[in-house]
């Protein structure tokens, strides 16, 4: 299966793309997107891998699934595009940074700059139906993201994993 993502990740994850679960997952996602409003837009599903190359990955922040409101999801966990109001979880994260590090609360809710510096902003499920958090869980994304985590653990050293939220901590 031809998955569009950064070449280093694509090379590392290629065996996953040929497995039956992944074929079934992609079929499910295609059906969901054709029948329902889903997020993020198709071209952003693997955005986390495009912004943070395999070679550059130093930190993994793991979330549950994309934000499920209009215009919110951009393919990076705990991230919204500039100009989009910050969802409650992102507000909490930025308040903690503000309190702990005395950094001002940012106007932008888009931490692409973190991703571009080696922070993989990965959700356990990479897609979601509009207004239905968790709607694409148990469809194969968790198997895929487990493989991402295992690949990083097996092939790289000194990776930091941050599990934000109860769901991510179960990983």
The DSSP string of 78-144 is: T---TTSPPPHHHHHHHHHHHHHH-PPPPS---THHHHHTTEEEEESSS-EETTBTTTTTTSSHHHH
For strand 128-129 and strand 38-39, is the pairing parallel, antiparallel, or unpaired? antiparallel
By annotation, the residues acting in catalysis are 65
The full DSSP string for 32-64 is: HHHHS-EES-GGGTTHHHHHS-TTT--EEEEES
**pLDDT tens, position by position, 86-98:** 999 899 999 998 9
pLDDT interval class at 171 (50, 70, 90): confident
Out of 23-27, 30-34, 102-106, 144-148, which region has the weakest mean confidence (pLDDT)? 102-106
pLDDT, tens digit (0-9, with 9 covering 90-100), for 76-121: 999 999 999 999 989 999 999 899 999 999 889 998 999 999 999 9
Q: How confident is the model at residue 48 (pLDDT cuts 50, 70, 90)?
A: very high
Residue 1 has pLDDT above 70, yes or no: no
Give the separation between CA 109 and CA 111, rounded to whole angstroms: 6
Other beta carbons within 10 angstroms of residue 167's beta carbon come to 18
Beta carbons within 8 Å of 126's beta carbon, 6+ residues apart: 45, 46, 48, 65, 66, 75, 136, 141, 144, 145
């Amino acid at each position: 299966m031809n998955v569009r993502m950064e070449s280093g990740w694509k090379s590392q994850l290629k065996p996953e793309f040929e497995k039956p679960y992944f074929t079934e997952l992609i079929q499910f996602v295609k059906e969901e997107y054709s029948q329902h409003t889903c997020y993020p837009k198709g071209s952003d599903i693997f955005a986390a891998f495009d912004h943070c190359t395999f070679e550059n990955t130093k930190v993994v922040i793991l979330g549950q699934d994309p934000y499920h409101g209009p215009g919110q999801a951009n393919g990076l966990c705990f991230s919204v595009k500039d100009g989009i109001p910050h969802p409650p979880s992102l507000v909490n994260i930025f308040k903690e940074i503000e309190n702990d590090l005395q950094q001002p609360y940012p106007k932008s809710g888009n931490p692409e700059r973190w991703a571009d510096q080696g922070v993989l902003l990965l959700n356990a499920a990479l897609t979601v139906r509009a207004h239905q958090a968790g709607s694409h869980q148990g469809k194969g994304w968790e198997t895929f993201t487990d493989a991402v985590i295992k690949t990083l653990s097996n092939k790289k050293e000194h990776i930091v994993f941050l599990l934000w939220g109860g769901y991510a901590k179960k990983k």
